[in-house]
């Protein structure tokens, strides 16, 4: 199928409510075993922290895999943030930041975790993310799931995506902010709370009712379709850049 048709025709494999604005509003994606791949500690909260809190409030099985870790301080911050969201299952691959691309060690570790955990929903940095660690995390995640073929859910960190559904996180925005405040080392570099709040408020504005104050945006597709779209997007993007 052509990529544009895939984008337009992809049907979401969980209950969806068509909002008056024409956007798909999802209470939360449903899955028996949910895994979030985070290239860096804080990406999981920036991209899907509110939805993650919703999963935990509903007693879903959730595991977060952190790919990089340069300091013990950041690992402590991630553990503090997990205490706020309620996540118990944390896996640390402990790869060096900026060096994920082509890491055989990370691939082997991830293969092992995915074989044990068997996710049917896999959150990944969306294919429009440009950071090399974010791209490498996506590639490794898609490859490691080749036998399970779960539903892939792309989340946004530094490159806003074209969503095919939104999750209203208004009731969990305060909890998300508390989780972000645990990442003090990152807050000294960028105000990730302001960035994240602004993006979530922007997303909620598309729902056009005052009760929606914060929302997270995602693009989900079956595993095979997500791979096709990722490849096509990169061909398009590289040709656009003249690479
Ligand atoms: Zn990151």
- CA 134 to centroid of ligand 1, rounded, Å: 6
Q: Considering the domain boundaries, does residue 70 fall inside one?
A: yes
From the CA of 101, how far away is ligand 1's center (Å)? 14
Residue 126 CA, ligand 1 centroid: distance in Å = 12
Domain-located, residue 241? no
pLDDT in tens, the chain (243 residues): 565 565 555 667 777 777 766 788 999 999 999 999 999 999 999 999 999 999 999 999 999 999 999 889 999 999 999 999 999 999 999 999 988 998 888 999 999 999 999 999 999 999 999 999 999 999 999 999 999 999 999 999 999 999 999 999 999 999 999 999 999 999 999 999 999 999 999 999 998 788 999 999 999 999 999 999 999 999 988 888 777
pLDDT value for 14 = 73
The 3-state secondary structure of 206-220, one letter per residue: CCCCCCCCCEEEEEE
pLDDT of residue 42: 97
Helix (H) / strand (E) containing 122? strand 121-125
Q: For residue 204, which of 19, 57, 43, 30 has the smallest C-alpha distance?
A: 19
Alpha carbon distance 151, 148 (integer Å): 9
| Residue 145 located in a structural domain | yes
Give the chain's domain count.
Answer: 1
Q: What is the pLDDT of residue 208?
A: 79
Ligand 1 mean position to 137 CA, how many Å? 10
User: For residue 43, how far is its CA from the centre of ligand 1 (angstroms)?
Assistant: 5
Residue 128 Cα to ligand 1 middle (Å): 13
Which residue from 121, 34, 143, 126 is spatially nearest to 85, judged by alpha carbons?
34
Q: Kindly provide the b/e burial profile for residues 128-149, where b requires at least 16 CB atoms within 10 angstroms of the residue's own CB.
A: bbebebbbbbbbbbbebbeeee
If you measure from the C-alpha of residue 211 to the centroid of ligand 1, how many angstroms do you get, rounded to a whole number?
Answer: 30
Taking the C-alpha atoms of residue 184 and residue 181, their distance in angstroms, rounded to an integer, is 6
- Asked if residue 239 belongs to a domain, the reply is no
- Name the strand (E) or helix (H) holding 117: helix 104-117
Cα–ligand 1 centroid distance for 206 (angstroms): 26
Q: Specify if 238 maps to a domain.
A: no
Distance CA 31, CA 154 (A): 15
Q: What is the pLDDT of residue 3?
A: 59
Q: What confidence score (pLDDT) does residue 102 get?
A: 85
Tell me whether residue 236 is in a domain. no
Indicate whether 237 belongs to any domain: no
DSSP label at 172? G
Give me the residue label for tokens 């007693």: 59
Contact (CB, 8 A) for 99 and 43: no
Q: List the CATH number of the domain containing 146.
A: 3.40.50.10320
**Long-range contact pairs involving 127-131 (C-beta distance under 8 Å, separation at least 24):** 127/154, 127/226, 127/229, 127/230, 127/233, 127/234, 128/154, 128/156, 128/159, 128/160, 128/161, 128/233, 129/156, 129/157, 129/158, 129/159, 130/158, 130/159, 131/39, 131/157, 131/158
Distance in Å, CA 39 to ligand 1 centroid: 5
Residue 121 lies in a domain: yes
CA of 210 to the centre of ligand 1 (A): 31
pLDDT of residue 2: 63
What's the domain range around 208?
Answer: 3-229
Q: CA-CA distances (angstroms) from residue 101 to 67, 106, 154, 175?
A: 11, 9, 19, 33
Q: Measured between alpha carbons, how far is 220 from 123 in angstroms, rounded to an integer?
A: 9
């Amino acid at each position: 199928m052509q990529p544009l048709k895939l984008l337009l025709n992809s049907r979401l494999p969980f209950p969806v409510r068509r909002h008056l604005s024409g956007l798909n509003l999802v209470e939360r994606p449903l899955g028996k075993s949910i895994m979030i791949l985070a290239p860096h500690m804080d990406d999981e909260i920036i991209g899907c922290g509110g939805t993650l809190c919703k999963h935990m409030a509903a007693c879903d099985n959730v595991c977060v895999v952190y790919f990089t870790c340069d300091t013990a301080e950041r690992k402590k911050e991630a553990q503090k943030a997990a205490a706020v969201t309620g996540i118990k299952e944390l896996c640390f691959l402990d790869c060096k930041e900026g060096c994920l691309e082509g890491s055989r060690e990370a691939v082997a570790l991830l293969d092992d975790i995915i074989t044990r955990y068997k996710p049917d929903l896999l959150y990944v940095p969306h294919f429009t993310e440009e950071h090399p660690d974010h791209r490498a995390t996506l590639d490794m995640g898609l490859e490691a799931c080749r036998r399970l073929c779960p539903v892939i859910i792309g989340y946004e960190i530094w490159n806003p995506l074209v969503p095919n559904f939104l999750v209203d996180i208004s009731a969990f925005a305060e909890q998300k902010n508390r989780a972000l405040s645990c990442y003090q080392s990152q807050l000294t570099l960028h105000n990730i709370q302001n960035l994240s709040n602004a993006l979530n408020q922007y997303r909620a504005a598309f729902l056009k009712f005052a009760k929606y104050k914060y929302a997270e945006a995602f693009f989900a597709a079956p595993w095979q379709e997500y791979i096709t779209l990722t490849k096509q997007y990169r061909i398009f993007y590289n040709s656009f850049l003249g690479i």
